[in-house]
Amino acid sequence: MCERFPARLPILISSLLCAAGFFVMLFLGIYGSLPFFVGLALYALGLATAWKGSLPAHLRRLAGLQAGLLLLNFTFYASVPLLPLVDLSLALYFVLLAGSSLLVFRLRAITGEQLFLPLRFLALAFLILISLSGISASHRKEVLYFVGMAAAGLACWYLVLNALRGDFRGVLWILRTAFWLGALSSLAAVWQLYSESFKVFYFPYLDVRDQAIMQLWELVSRVVGTWQHPSYLGMYLAMMLPVGVYLLFQDSRAGRLEKILVWLGLVAIGAVLLLTNTRSSALAGSLGAGLVFVFAVFGQGLKSEGQRFGARFAVLGLAVAAGILLYQFVFVSEIYSKPQASRVDASATIWGRFLRTDSMSTESLVQRSELYKLAWQEFVSHPLTGIGAKNFSYAVEEKFGQGTDAHNVFLQFLAETGILGTLSFVALFLGLLWSMFWRLLYPADPELRLLRLVLFVELLLVLFDSQFNNPLFSLRLVGVFWILIGAFYALPKHEIQNYKSEILNKSQSDSKS
């Protein structure tokens, strides 16, 4: 190991410089453009250090770091303006995409591999056809924002795919990073619930509008942590439940201590997911985690090992029970102790929201039926190109006095992008489903096959939640989603023998020591 350290030193320095530059930009950029550009210089120096003489494996490590920094940027989003029309974290998004692009093209130059761009024509058609919605849009800036958001998300897909192609360890790094950021998001939400100091810490990173939005959510006893909206936090946590189940039961490199920490992370994520009061996300996360658990147990030849299955079932059952008890007897009690408790009724809990149907609630099924009706009316009046991407909330505000989304992805696309944009969206996601499903059938190592299933489940979760919420209209969730899709396509086709050999060597050296 000592002999290999000098060879790893340049990439270690590059990684440290990139990470240091990122943290300077994110955490000090709120004090002006000068700290941001100082951080940008450090980041660029890190990339330049890795440019010459680095091995492909080292460049992939650095590219994996970029994906982790992107996830961190989405989790801890700083919306204070940096430049006109560009907030701090949006600028960081562009910087990280540019850095990832440079690393990918450097990798291609060294290895001679061609870029792999699956479904590229469907993706291009999607971007072009949703752009046409600007023809009749009353707010064209919103159309530009949505097209840019979609393009950046697709860029995340292709960059992660080509940077980590065939790198099982790199994909696992992304999943671990995403999971632990989910656990940290849960802790941030709990901090918000219990202490005003959370706002003292986080408000300097938010613009005035986002500060007001967070305070409005607190009035109805819903936490958002660093995610701006309860449904965004809920969806991210729901996506992390299947990942946590995989890390708990199937990650062959994790030691006992890490498994215990993953179990605690699952408890925290599950409890805070209930605390967000997002019904569709709670259902999606539970079903996804259950599906991964079933395949983790019965897909690995353990069907006849009743005791081992019973032990694993007990471990997961204890996590579920602990999460529900933590939510019901700790978090809910805190909700009703707040000064605004007099404004809160039984629907402040997720159980109450499942039962609530009064037409005065913007979140109820009765109210949403009005949104569905309005979305259909807007589509009928603008059937070809719609009223403009991200413009439906203005139509809702004009009719009901307060803007919101259609809470159904197909009706939202019909209203905003017309039949052209909707068909392009359906074609792209049907192509994804078909392509990813067939990759699930590849003969492969059991652990590799299960990891493919975990990432396929992420696609299903987002599509399920999109029938009731709007995850595909959030810049942050769109970025996270496409990074995970890129991780799916980056996985090796058939085996992960190099990774298995690493684990075997590690266990043998541990036993000798």
User: Would the pTM count as exceeding 0.85?
Assistant: yes
Whether residue 366 is predicted with pLDDT greater than 60 in this model: the reply is: no
Q: Positive or negative, the Cα torsion across 429, 434, 437, 439?
A: negative
Contact in structure between 417 and 129 (CB atoms under 8 Å):
yes
Is the pLDDT confidence value at 512 over 60? no
Contacts of 95 (CB under 8 A, 6+ apart): 25, 40, 43
Give residue 489's pLDDT.
96
User: What's the angle, vertex CA 52, arms to CA 48 and CA 56, rounded to 5?
Assistant: 105
Residue 359 pLDDT greater than 70, yes or no? no
Closest CA to 169 of 437, 448, 438: 448
Mean pLDDT in residue range 174-190: 97
Buried b (16+ CB within 10 A) or exposed e, 91-107: bbbebbbebbbbbbebb
pLDDT of 4: 57
Q: How far is CA 449 from CA 28, 69, 299, 316, in A?
A: 42, 27, 9, 21
What does the pLDDT read at residue 341? 59
Report pLDDT digits (tens) over 27-54.
999 998 999 999 999 999 999 988 876 7
CB atoms inside a 10 Å sphere around CB 5: 9
Strand partners, 131: none
- Hey, how many other C-beta atoms are within 10 angstroms of the C-beta on 122? 16
Q: Average the pLDDT over 165-174 and give the result.
A: 93
Contact in structure between 43 and 95 (CB atoms under 8 Å): yes
Average pLDDT, the chain: 87
Tens-digit pLDDT profile for residues 414-450: 999 999 999 999 999 999 999 999 998 887 788 888 8
Say what the pLDDT of residue 488 is.
96
* pLDDT tens by residue, 257-309: 999 999 999 999 999 999 998 888 999 999 999 999 888 777 654 444 455 67
Q: Check residue 344 and give its pLDDT.
A: 57
Over range 377-400, report the average pLDDT: 92
The region of weakest confidence among 102-111, 250-259, 334-343 is: 334-343
Q: What is the pLDDT of residue 340?
A: 63
